[in-house]
Amino acid sequence: MRRLLVLGAGTAGVMVANKLRRRLHRAHWRITVVESGERHFYQPGFLLVPFRRYAPKLVSKPTERLLADGVELIRGEVWRVDAVAGRVALADGCQLPYDYLVIATGVSPRPDQTPGMLDGGQWRDSIFDFYTYDGAVALAPALERLTAGRLVVHITDMPIKCPVAPLEFTFLADDYLRQRGLRDRVDLTYVTPLPGAFTKPIAAARLGTMLDERKVAVEPDFLVERIDGRKLVSYDEREVPFDLLVTVPLNMGADYVARSGLGDELNLVPVDRHTMLAKAYDNVFALGDANDIPASKAGSVAHFAAEVFTGNFVEHAAGRPMTGSFDGHANCFVESGHGKGLLIDFNYDTEPLPGRYPVPGLGPFRLLDESVVNHWGKLAFRWMYWHLLLPGRPLPLPARMSMAGKHPPEPEE
């Protein structure tokens, strides 16, 4: 019997295990998922927990309930991968041999990598994150206590999970403060290592305008060196003071990736960006946030990549060339407050453009334009995530990005 080992039961790990369980003959394949945590988190929901728009109980479920019948779940922490021998060692000493390995342990916030963020005594007091369950829950009462002063939303460095989430948090914070009648008493600043609000010019211009309209100050090209008291300090010695700091710490892959010699300086696994096959080994793949592809670290990327990967894996395991090619497709709803949202859709080669999605001219979603329908689309996605995406059921959305319905800019003369 051939052995497929999946490390991590996040979005990519669960989807891939469930999809391949349908495609691989049970008499010939054993599929095992290794996961240290007992619960799977719907991470897009973390954004809404601090504003009490989601109860914490809505964003997690027991992992074992999400895996298809015939997928084995092993509780344990991965210590090291011996890719030459084809074996994974767990922290408890257990050894798991494999024929094929899928690394899907994602990335995690690392506040310990910025001096003063974790060791200055302010963590979960005046400095918070919302990219973790505990951080999102702890931030809710801190926001309620804020009645005046300086609220700073900060990104340490790229890449990060869901790169639009800090912008969404900023828009929702503006809306939240206005509803409480406190907006004029709270200065809101967005601090980013990027030259603008986003990485792509057209989207950056639109999102930057939205920040201006909400009177949010932007501090661009800010590479934080340390946190000194109630101040962010950059490498070029700029300072941004705060009373409440909502930060996105440095995102890094799992430590075992480094111990195994499989990753780069951020513990991300170098892979072929079209097939997710590791560059160093012919039987190792890395999916979701765990790899180094130049695409957003978002759930939609994991979904579209998994669609391509599933067919490729069946071909690869049968000794045939992989014919599927992932194009970096990503789409993300962007909550903008006031019951509205945007949608962006892009890939490796095409930046977010205005238009309609998924049906050209009809939508119902509007690209790069605020609408109530986009907001409800984001909220509806939680049901789709639990009941369609994770079980690996087909969605009526093509894995490859389409230019249909999009309006490219006019070429310059």
pLDDT in tens, 344-397: 999 999 999 999 999 888 889 999 999 999 999 999 999 999 999 999 988 878
Do 181 and 245 lie in a common domain?
Answer: yes
Return the pLDDT at 352.
Answer: 93
Do 15 and 86 lie in a common domain?
Answer: yes
**Count: domains in the chain:** 2
Do 182 and 281 lie in a common domain?
Answer: no
**Distance of alpha carbon 312 from alpha carbon 351, whole angstroms:** 26
Q: Is the pTM of this model over 0.75?
A: yes
Do 241 and 267 lie in a common domain?
Answer: no
Do 149 and 205 lie in a common domain?
Answer: yes
Q: Which of 250, 276, 302 is the last residue of a domain?
A: 250
Note whether 291 and 269 are within 8 A (CB): yes
DSSP, residue by residue, 24-88:
S-TTTEEEEEEES-SEEE-GGGGGTTTTTSS-GGGGEEEGGGTSPTTEEEEE--EEEEETTTTEE
Note whether 366 and 356 are within 8 A (CB): yes
State yes or no: pLDDT of 222 exceeds 90. Answer: yes
Return the pLDDT at 199.
Answer: 77
Percent of the chain exceeding pLDDT 90 equals: 91
Do 69 and 122 lie in a common domain?
Answer: no
Percent of the chain exceeding pLDDT 70 equals: 99
**Distance of alpha carbon 252 from alpha carbon 326, whole angstroms:** 23
Do 140 and 224 lie in a common domain?
Answer: yes
Q: Which of 301, 317, 333 is the last residue of a domain?
A: 317
Parent domain of 174:
110-250
The answer to whether residue 349 sits within a structural domain is no
The answer to whether residue 411 sits within a structural domain is no
Do 277 and 199 lie in a common domain?
Answer: no
Q: How is residue 293 annotated by DSSP?
A: -
Return the pLDDT at 118.
Answer: 94
The answer to whether residue 37 sits within a structural domain is yes
Do 135 and 246 lie in a common domain?
Answer: yes
161-201 residue pLDDT tens: 999 999 999 999 999 999 999 999 999 999 999 998 887 78
Return the pLDDT at 398.
Answer: 87
Selection from 153, 174, 129, 136 nearest residue 336 by Cα: 174
Do 64 and 47 lie in a common domain?
Answer: yes
State yes or no: pLDDT of 412 exceeds 60. Answer: no
**Distance of alpha carbon 216 from alpha carbon 208, whole angstroms:** 9
